[in-house]
Structure 1
Amino acid sequence: MEKSKNLKRWIYISIITAALVIFALWLFLQEDSRQKAVLKTSDTEVVNAENGQENAAEIYVHITGAVNNPGVIKLAQGSRLIDAIEKLGGLAENADTDSVNLASVLEDEDKIHIYTKDETAETGVGSASAASGTGRVNINTASLEDLKTLPGIGDAIGKSIIDYREKNGAFRSLEDLKEVDRIGDKVFEKLKDSITL
């Protein structure tokens, strides 16, 4: 009788112990799968963030004129005009390299025309030195094409400079250029050695 009671007690204890062990294993496996789900989610977020940074670091520019394959090209932010020209197959034989600053840093939506030697000879536009006797571009008299020879200046900013001139009159100091839309301290620093009044 006593043996029977002891046997039943051991059976109950064994069943309860086994149930507790199974429950503990189930909890452990649930926690493990939850952690894997969190890791997968955070990995996805990291990949998405990296993709977002990649997209933010790309610019599109339009190069026309005396290049072998003119057109719109995608470049890394901070690329220079020479990088774009090389990706478009290089300069055409009759390109006038004096009409542009090949070292200028490009910005998204820039459109730059590379003049041929015939074009600059016929029209006199496109040459930065033609804008002033110092070899600098005169921001009060320069055409859009002359302005676009400046580092970081494309169609949009060039038009803004001309619009500002037409609305407010001639620039009285080089620093007045900072009042034009999209020209802050950083852009002005790139320009100040290439411009004059």
Structure 2
Amino acid sequence: LVFSGCGREVRGSLEELSVTDDEESEDKNPGSEDADGGENHSQDKTAPESGKDPEETVFVYVCGAVNAPGVYELEKDARVFEAIGLAGGMTGEAAAEAVNQARPVADGEQIYVPTVQEAQMQGAGVLEDTVTGNADESGKVNINTAGKEELMTLTGIGEAKAQSILDYREEHGQFGSTEDLMQIEGIKEGVFNKIKEDITI
């Protein structure tokens, strides 16, 4: 009877040992669900990130004769025509030839597309005071709105310098002060002193 009892105890111990071994085996060899879980986790890590690198983009404000004026984000090496395209393209009244659509855009700039009428007025140098905002100084040349011919009426400003002023204005936007003219090559203090009393912004 004693042996029989020990046999039951030994048999019980063997059964417990067998269960323990099975559990350890399962821990070392996880099931398919765990493996699948690990696989998904790996895919999450390698998934490409969405969005653009802020250092690789610029923001510009497109306005004037375009279908959807507003602020748009572009690649930093984008061109003006791409910005205009994002703004819905030019309207039927736009003066396309008045905008250099091939030049690169600059972060924070304003791209203004004039109408045909505005372009003609600028070219003739006859913008009204309501447009220039300088009714009390109408006798002076507004360097932010004057066309080439009007700029050429200034002392020391020939066709080349007048074109440089237009190019600078198109690339950088409006002048913040009349002194900003001296940032243009060929217009230094000597030339500026001759015209400073005849210009305004």
TM-score relative to the length of structure 1: 0.52
Tell me the equivalent position of 1:26. 27
- CA distance in structure 2 between the aligned counterparts of 1:41 and 1:87, rounded to whole angstroms: 37
Cα distance change on mapping 1:164 and 1:148 into 2, 3 Å? closer
- CA distance in structure 2 between the aligned counterparts of 1:163 and 1:17, rounded to whole angstroms: 93
Asked if the contact 2:56–2:76 (Cα under 8 Å) also holds between the matched residues in 1, the reply is yes
Q: Would you say 1:15 and 2:16 are equivalent positions?
A: yes
> CA shift at 1:112, angstroms?
0.8
Amino acid of the structure 1 residue aligned with 2:14: I
Counterpart secondary structure, 1:51: coil
> CA shift at 1:62, angstroms?
0.9
Cα distance change on mapping 1:103 and 1:42 into 2, 3 Å? same
Cα distance change on mapping 1:40 and 1:147 into 2, 3 Å? farther
Asked if the contact 1:98–1:127 (Cα under 8 Å) also holds between the matched residues in 2, the reply is no
Counterpart secondary structure, 2:10: helix
- CA distance in structure 1 between the aligned counterparts of 2:80 and 2:146, rounded to whole angstroms: 15
Cα distance change on mapping 1:26 and 1:126 into 2, 3 Å? farther
Larger Rg: 2
Asked if the contact 2:81–2:101 (Cα under 8 Å) also holds between the matched residues in 1, the reply is yes
- Structure 1 gap segments, 5+ residues each: 173-197
Aligned length: 156
- CA distance in structure 2 between the aligned counterparts of 1:46 and 1:148, rounded to whole angstroms: 47
Tell me the equivalent position of 1:109. 108
- CA distance in structure 1 between the aligned counterparts of 2:15 and 2:179, rounded to whole angstroms: 90
Q: Percent identity?
A: 17
Q: Cα RMSD (Å) of the superposition?
A: 4.6
Amino acid of the structure 2 residue aligned with 1:112: I
Tell me the equivalent position of 1:147. 168
Amino acid of the structure 1 residue aligned with 2:25: A
Tell me the equivalent position of 2:84. 85
| Alignment of structure 1 residues 110-149 onto 2, 5 Å | 110-124=109-123, 133=159, 138=164, 142=165, 146-147=167-168, 149=170
